[in-house]
Amino acid sequence: MTELPIPVIAIDGPTASGKGTVASLVAEKLGFHYLDSGALYRLVALASEKEAIDTQNGQKLGLLAQKLVISFEKGQIILNGEVVTETIRTESIGLRASAIAIHPEVREALVGVQQDFRKAPGLVADGRDMASVIFPDASLKIFLTATAAARAERRYKQLIAKGISAKLDVLLQDLQERDARDSSRGAAPLLIAPGAQVLDTSELSIDQAVKIVLDWYQSKPA
């Protein structure tokens, strides 16, 4: 009897579309593992900043990505023995991560790291190329998006809630620039993977989006 592959729900989408929150809640509801692939690029961004590696030096960034010691433990993200859960969530690290993610050397270095998260009973993975590159055989592929205005407003509210000053117009411009960069890069550009279902969350609550994803997954044939 052929053993069925471990199921994967792959959720791709642009920055601040809500895919991370939706993916983590779906994983929690199903009892699946969760992969925040964006965190891996943010970790490379943080480490490269500490080592003063230029964001345009793909070769050095790729070598750096290969030697990082990364672990996710009890909701904490640990890099080379240091807890960096909050540090990697700053806007500056997010922008740096987007800049280094264009390099094939960095993406190739992280492919195996991401695929190793696929463990029983299943995995929910979110990112930019989960369905198109990392898990092309995913049980369910979703492209989760929202308008740039809706995403900028969400990010603005998140930052203000954390006591971080922000300007809505600046956030909107940053998001639009990141969208353009992510969609046009040569290595694994942000795109709707073949067979993916598009979910626009512009007018949806998190709970509504989670319910739709769960309904889609549970309606899939075994």
Q: Is residue 38 part of a domain?
A: yes
Distance of alpha carbon 167 from alpha carbon 148, whole angstroms: 15
Q: Is residue 168 part of a domain?
A: yes
pLDDT at 121 (0 to 100) = 96
pLDDT at 73 (0 to 100) = 75
Which CATH number characterizes residue 49's domain? Answer: 3.40.50.300
Distance of alpha carbon 149 from alpha carbon 154, whole angstroms: 9
Count structural domains, the chain: 1
pLDDT at 167 (0 to 100) = 92
Query: Does residue 182 contact residue 14 with C-beta atoms inside 8 Å?
Result: yes
Q: Is residue 221 part of a domain?
A: no
Instruction: Report the 3 state secondary structure along 191-211.
Output: CCCCCCEEEECCCCCHHHHHH
Most confident of 88-92, 127-131, 188-192, 211-215: 211-215
Q: Is residue 70 part of a domain?
A: yes
Q: Is residue 90 part of a domain?
A: yes
Mean pLDDT of the chain: 91
* Alpha-carbon 9 to chain mean position: 13
Q: Is residue 120 part of a domain?
A: yes
pLDDT at 2 (0 to 100) = 54
Q: Is residue 1 part of a domain?
A: no
Q: Is residue 2 part of a domain?
A: no
Give per-residue pLDDT as tens, 46-91.
999 999 999 999 999 999 999 998 888 777 899 999 999 999 988 8
The pLDDT of 17-29, averaged and rounded, is: 93
Q: Is pLDDT above 70 for 97?
A: yes
Residue 90 lies in domain? 8-216
pLDDT at 98 (0 to 100) = 87
Q: 137: pLDDT confidence band, cut at 50, 70 and 90?
A: very high
